[in-house]
Structure 1
Amino acid sequence: MPKINGNEIKPGFILEHDGGLWAAVKVNHVKPGKGGAFAQVELKNLRDGRKLNERFRSEDKVERTELENKDQQFLYETDGRLVFMDAATYEQIEIDAELLGDRRPFLQDGMTATVQYFGDEALNVTLPQKVKCRIVETEPVQKGQTAANSFKPAILDNGVRIMIPPFIGPDEEIIVHTELLEYSERA
Structure 2
Amino acid sequence: MISSNDFRTGVTIDLDGSVWRVVEFLHVKPGKGSAFVRTKLKNVQSGNVVERTFRAGETVPQAVLEKRTMQHTYREGDELVFMDMETYEEMRLTPEQVGDRVKYLKEEMEINIVTWGTRVLEVELPNSVVLKITDTDPGVKGDTATGGTKPAIVETGAQVMVPLFISIGEKIKIDTRTDSYLGREN
Query: Which TM-score band (shorter chain)?
Result: 0.7 to 0.9
Contiguous gaps of at least 5 residues in structure 1: none
The aligned runs of 1:98-117 (5 Å cut-off) are 98-117=96-115
Matched to 2:48, the amino acid is K
Query: How far is the alpha carbon of 1:146 from its aligned partner?
Result: 2.9
CA distance, structure 1, for counterparts of residue 54 and residue 164 of structure 2: 50
What TM-score comes out, normalization by structure 2 length?
A: 0.77
| Identity across the alignment (%) | 30
* 1:55 paired residue number: 52
Query: How far is the alpha carbon of 1:147 from its aligned partner?
Result: 6.1
Matched to 2:53, the amino acid is F
* 1:21 paired residue number: 19
Do the aligned partners of residues 17 and 161 (structure 1) sit closer, same or farther apart at CA in structure 2, a change above 3 Å counting? Answer: same
Residue in structure 2 matching 1:169, options 157, 167, 172? 167
CA RMSD of aligned residues (A): 3.2
Query: How far is the alpha carbon of 1:112 from its aligned partner?
Result: 1.5
Query: How far is the alpha carbon of 1:61 from its aligned partner?
Result: 4.6
C-alpha contact 2:106 2:156 (8 A) present in aligned 1: no
Higher gyration radius (CA): 2
Query: How far is the alpha carbon of 1:5 from its aligned partner?
Result: 3.5
* 1:182 paired residue number: 180
C-alpha contact 2:20 2:41 (8 A) present in aligned 1: no
Matched to 2:142, the amino acid is G
Matched to 2:18, the amino acid is G
C-alpha contact 2:71 2:109 (8 A) present in aligned 1: yes
C-alpha contact 1:135 1:156 (8 A) present in aligned 2: yes
CA distance, structure 1, for counterparts of residue 119 and residue 59 of structure 2: 25
Query: How far is the alpha carbon of 1:122 from its aligned partner?
Result: 3.2
C-alpha contact 2:149 2:163 (8 A) present in aligned 1: yes
CA distance, structure 2, for counterparts of residue 54 and residue 63 of structure 1: 18
Query: How far is the alpha carbon of 1:173 from its aligned partner?
Result: 0.8
Matched position secondary structure for 1:109: coil
The aligned runs of 1:36-185 (5 Å cut-off) are 39=38, 41-46=40-45, 49=46, 51-57=48-54, 59=56, 61-146=59-144, 148=146, 150-185=148-183
Query: How far is the alpha carbon of 1:120 from its aligned partner?
Result: 4.2
Matched position secondary structure for 2:4: strand
